[in-house]
Structure 1
Amino acid sequence: MDRLIYSALSGMRSSMEKQRVLASNMANAETIGFRAELMDARAVTVESRNGSLETRAMQSSAVRGADMSQGEMTLTGRSLDIAIDGEALIAVQAEDGSEAYTRRGDLTLTGAGLLVNGEGRPILGEQGPITVPPGGVMAIAPDGVVTVTNPATPEAPPAEIARIKLANPVGSQVTKGLDNLFRVEGGGVLPADLSATVKTGYLEQSNVKLTEVLVELVDQQRLFDMRTKLVATAKELDESGASLMRLS
């Protein structure tokens, strides 16, 4: 009897975790560059005392990846908005100072001239966070090169100050954190992709498909209800068996 309850509780916990992931995806359906989270479920077995039989198997569910398919690109016409063509990622500085990666390209300049994205993450170049001199007119080339033109001398050629690091994730194990940033699993940094290009004046939208998320939410709620009924059924069967033992 306990095996039935064990399996049902495992399924209930898996359904709850799945609903949490789906709710997070739905909440970020309008977030620039968001990648839908994917949940991975693995069996965790419980062996008998002598180690010969696997008597129970629970599910261990966790977010271990993301859907990396490209989202829709929308034209904004804003000179600091960029969207990446292909699979490259924009290198940013995380809160702990480490290098992390994102697809969010709604860039702005702080009062100190620091180039950040919409989440306030500093954009990284080859020499660290990119800082633009005050008073200059900034532009971003398709290869990620950041240039500045001095309004006082408009006839002078633009000065190159940095190049946005566009990292290549192909062949590397990257994981998505709770801060929506990607990192190399086990530590380390991704190599720069010198062939990657950006489209200025565009933003990549979230790749969450709301219709699919809603259908999955309904399915998971139904599964949770079915598994709850299994626990109730197990309780009834246990009480029936106990009453029979009392009669005997």
Structure 2
Amino acid sequence: MDRFMYLAMSGAKENLYAQAINNHNLANATTHGFRQSLADAYTAPITGPVYDSRDYVQVGNEAIDFSHGAMQSTGRDLDVAIQGEGFIAVQAPDGGEAYTRAGNLHVDAQGMLLTDRGLPVLGDGGPITVPPDESILIGTDGTITIRPEGSAPNALAAVNRIRLVNPDTATLERTEDGLIRAKDGQEVEADANVRVVTGMLETSNVNTVEALTRMIELSRTYETQIKMMETANNIEERHNRLLGIS
């Protein structure tokens, strides 16, 4: 009977994990450039002194769905979207390098080019700083061109270039801070073939209808597993009464 109980308990535990992943995806359904997570679980046999008698559910490494989101027109000069494959390199709060598809950028009071989350965008020589300007334009290759403050309309100057990378997605992972990084912790080299389009943003790749349906399915499965645990407990109590133990 313990096998019945613990198998149901194992399934319920990992079902809660799947619900947490699904809820996190739903919470980021409107986050630009977000890549949904996939719950990954597998069966693992439990070995015994005589023979294997149980297969429990175990959590695997969290997988990321790198399929593209839809393109959304904004008309804003500092909004950029990656065309095809690739990422924008940013500086994480711990000083490391991370990668994002969220191109809703802005320049703060100190002239730093930041993402919507406040992460510095990396260029050829580190975080990008933009001098005071009358206008700013980001080219398809990530080159940032400005018209310096107080200059003539045709006085344009290239100040830096956003570092665009295109690593193998199999080498990437999402860390505890929610940022996507290289698994080996190394910086990814810039890829001159990555292109961006200005005045556009990429939406999340979360399908809200599928996520809501998944939430209902997971909830019902969890309820079934809890009922199985209650059934196992009731059967055990009846056995104990029959044996005169209780």
Work out whether the TM-score is over 0.5: yes
Show the counterpart of 2:152. Answer: 154
User: What residue in structure 2 maps to residue 222 of structure 1?
Assistant: 220
Q: SS in structure 2 opposite 1:246?
A: coil
Percent identity among equivalent residues?
Answer: 38
Counterpart-to-counterpart distance in 1, 2:114 and 2:68:
22
5+ residue gaps, structure 1: none
Q: 2: distance between equivalents of 1:17 and 1:69? A: 22
Q: Call closer, same or farther: CA 1:27–1:113 in 2, change over 3 Å.
A: same
> Cα RMSD over matched residues?
1.8
Question: In the TM superposition, what is the alpha-carbon distance from 1:155 to its structure 2 partner?
Answer: 5.0
Aligned length, in residue pairs: 245
Q: Pick from 172, 179, 188 the counterpart of residue 181 of structure 1.
A: 179
State the 1:67 CA deviation.
1.2
Q: CA deviation at 1:180?
A: 2.8
Q: Deviations over 1:28-84 (max 9, x none)?
A: 1111111111111133443224xx643433323256221111111111000000000
Structure 1 contact 142–200 (Cα < 8 Å) conserved? yes
Look up the match of 2:17.
17
Alignment of 1:162-201 (within 5 A): 162-170=160-168, 172-201=170-199
Q: Distance in 1 between matches of 2:150 and 2:33?
A: 36
Shift of 1:16: 0.7
Counterpart among 122, 125, 132 of residue 127 in structure 1: 125
How big is the shift at 1:93? 0.4
Tell me, in whole angstroms, the C-alpha distance in 1 between the residues paired with 2:82 and 2:135.
22
The answer to whether the 8 A contact 2:132-2:149 is kept is no
Structure 2 residues not aligned, in runs of 5+:
none
Does residue 1:98 correspond to 2:96, yes or no? Answer: yes
TM-score normalised to structure 2 length = 0.93
Query: Displacement, 1:132?
Result: 0.5
* One-letter amino acid of the counterpart of residue 157, structure 2: A
Q: Distance in 1 between matches of 2:169 and 2:198?
A: 27
How far is 1:177 from its partner?
2.3
Report Cα offsets for 1:78-110 as digits up to 9, x if no partner.
000000011201100001000000111000001
> 1:163-195 deviations in whole A, cap 9, x for unaligned?
111111226510112433211113112221211
Secondary structure of the 1:15 match is helix
Which residue of 1 is the match for residue 26 of structure 2? 26
